[in-house]
Structure 1
Amino acid sequence: MPVRDGARTVADAVHSVLADIGTHDELVVVDDGSTDGSDDLLRSMPGQIRVVANEGRGIVDALNTGLRLATGEFIARCDADDQWLPGHTELLVAELESDPEAVAVFGAAQLRGSKGDVVAHSVPPGSPTELRRAMLRGNPLIHGAVMARRGSIISVGGYRSVSGAEDFDLWTRLAESGRLGTIPDLIYDYQLSSASAHTTKRRRQARSTLRVLLQHALRTRELSVAGLARNALSAVWPVRRFWYRA
């Protein structure tokens, strides 16, 4: 769990994870230079939690720090303003254990607006073929609704600096190394940004998504002209799309 100045919401995020994981699991929280007391709050919380200071080096470095310090076979993420829903761990672990060829598995998420109400749901494509086709158009996946094999993430180089699309960049490289699985179950609660921040984020994510799609096309020769055109348009004039995620 990466956090920067998340004192208002991080306790609820931590509780949602600790309530869901097993006795042999651990939550690693990387505090990326918080100045609002998040670090003290986190260190006062009981349970299977390890807090690490990262001195404000950015989200990608925070994610790679957590990846490096984690010791489990499987890796999952929760953002400091989101929450895991009950069954998150059990459902994703079961899917990974039942399919040795899967390098990662994604579930569904509910999206909350600024007033706290659920405004949409994000459900991943139902088959590997549909998922692969969707990923040629953009990112149809929610980062917090994934569990991946730690070894698989490390083998493709971990997270890279792709502003606003470091997750999608990782998914494309994982998809090139093995199978991405999906389940329809609702396992994650995602807090949307404010309207103005979300518009700025969509522009940045669209530019980065376009870059990721082009890099993926160079590596695999898989390309969607419509996907490239849509992201190029969104980089200038962002439309309402829920699949652009940080």
Structure 2
Amino acid sequence: MALTFSVITCTWNSAQYLHESIASVLAQDHPHIEYIFVDGGSKDGTLAQIHALHRPYKLLENVRGGVSRAMNEGLRVATGDVIAYLHSDDYYLRPDVLSTVARRLEDSGRGWLFGRTMALIGHELRPDNYVAPRFSYNNLLRGNFVPHPATFVRRDLMLRAGGFNTSLKYAMDYDLWLKLATLSDPVQLDDALTAFREHEGSLSTSSRTRLAAMAEDFRVRLTYASNNPIERLAHYARYFVRRRRIIQAKGNA
């Protein structure tokens, strides 16, 4: 039997873009999809859009405590073979995304898979223009190149990894990828699978947010890095170089 998917979408006042995300899931040609919504207490039309679905779904309401907890709650009720997290403002680029993922996971026998995303800015889709390095644990320790919306994990492997660390605000996905990488090598695809929406409203604070996210990434990286002093020094050096570039770019803006 073909692999089954649990697509988990976390929502909070997500009515503006949720319909696009939902439409991309409904358009999938894969026949075995469990659709799960985890809502943080929406007051707009989010819940109305979910209730209007003419297909089975699960809805967890008033889940508080941040996005990591919401994603873990979705995992708790999921029954599919493969877990997919699709943010409420992102969407799958093609109807065959899940069937492609299922085929590649079945053919490889591996526990997880990631592809690429395209950036959606306004109404324009743009390639990420990033050539990801070939996957290895050491390459992942150098920097996170695994895009969250284009990552798919077998549920048993996700449970072994323990889900998302709820104490992290920015690097919960990076932390999870590193945990998964200690358990299983992924399938790596170079194809874009998902559109990742970039909001113009966040651009004015992007430098500050990027610095905070980078600092948390660095703390996570050191948690998983070896105790070799030369290797740890290299991590420190890369972090400070990247941080300085962001600060300089902000000063020149």
TM norm structure 2? 0.83
| Cα offset, 1:227, TM superposition | 4.3
Match of 2:80 in 1: 72
Which residue of 120, 123, 126 corresponds with 2:127?
120
Contact 1:156/1:174 (8 A) holds in 2:
yes
Which residue type is aligned with residue 91 of structure 1?
T
Q: Structure 1 residues 228 and 191 mapped into 2: Cα distance closer, same or farther (>3 Å)?
A: farther
Which residue of 136, 157, 160 corresponds with 2:162?
157
Q: Structure 1 residues 12 and 156 mapped into 2: Cα distance closer, same or farther (>3 Å)?
A: same
Contact 1:159/1:167 (8 A) holds in 2:
yes
CA distance in 2, matches of 1:18, 1:219: 47
| Cα offset, 1:88, TM superposition | 1.4
Q: Structure 1 residues 21 and 76 mapped into 2: Cα distance closer, same or farther (>3 Å)?
A: farther
Alignment of 1:99-178 (within 5 A): 99-100=108-109, 102-113=110-121, 115-121=122-128, 125=132, 127-129=134-136, 132-161=137-166, 162-178=168-184
Which residue type is aligned with residue 26 of structure 1?
E
Quick check: which has more Rg, 1 or 2?
Answer: 2
Consecutive unaligned residues of structure 2, counting only runs of 5 or more, are 1-8
CA deviations over 1:21-59 (Å, ceiling 9, x no partner): 533311101111222231222112222432211333210
Q: Structure 1 residues 72 and 137 mapped into 2: Cα distance closer, same or farther (>3 Å)?
A: same
Match of 1:191 in 2: 197
CA distance in 2, matches of 1:144, 1:240: 30
Consecutive unaligned residues of structure 1, counting only runs of 5 or more, are 242-246
Which residue of 75, 81, 90 corresponds with 2:99?
90
CA distance in 2, matches of 1:196, 1:110: 21
CA deviations over 1:174-230 (Å, ceiling 9, x no partner): 001111220112211011233124333312210110011001115899946444434
The two structures, once aligned, show a CA RMSD in angstroms of 2.7
Secondary structure of the corresponding residue to residue 179 of structure 1: coil
In the alignment, structure 1 residue 207 sits paired with structure 2 residue 215: yes
Contact 1:126/1:184 (8 A) holds in 2:
no
Q: Structure 1 residues 181 and 47 mapped into 2: Cα distance closer, same or farther (>3 Å)?
A: same
Which residue of 6, 11, 23 corresponds with 2:19?
11
CA distance in 2, matches of 1:117, 1:55: 33
Which residue type is aligned with residue 214 of structure 1?
L
Q: Structure 1 residues 221 and 39 mapped into 2: Cα distance closer, same or farther (>3 Å)?
A: farther
- Counting aligned pairs with the same residue, the percent is 25
Which residue type is aligned with residue 229 of structure 1?
A
CA distance in 2, matches of 1:103, 1:33: 33
When structure 1 is superposed on structure 2, of 12-21 and 175-184 the one drifting more is 12-21
Q: Structure 1 residues 49 and 31 mapped into 2: Cα distance closer, same or farther (>3 Å)?
A: same
TM norm structure 1? 0.85
CA distance in 2, matches of 1:206, 1:83: 26
Secondary structure of the corresponding residue to residue 170 of structure 2: coil
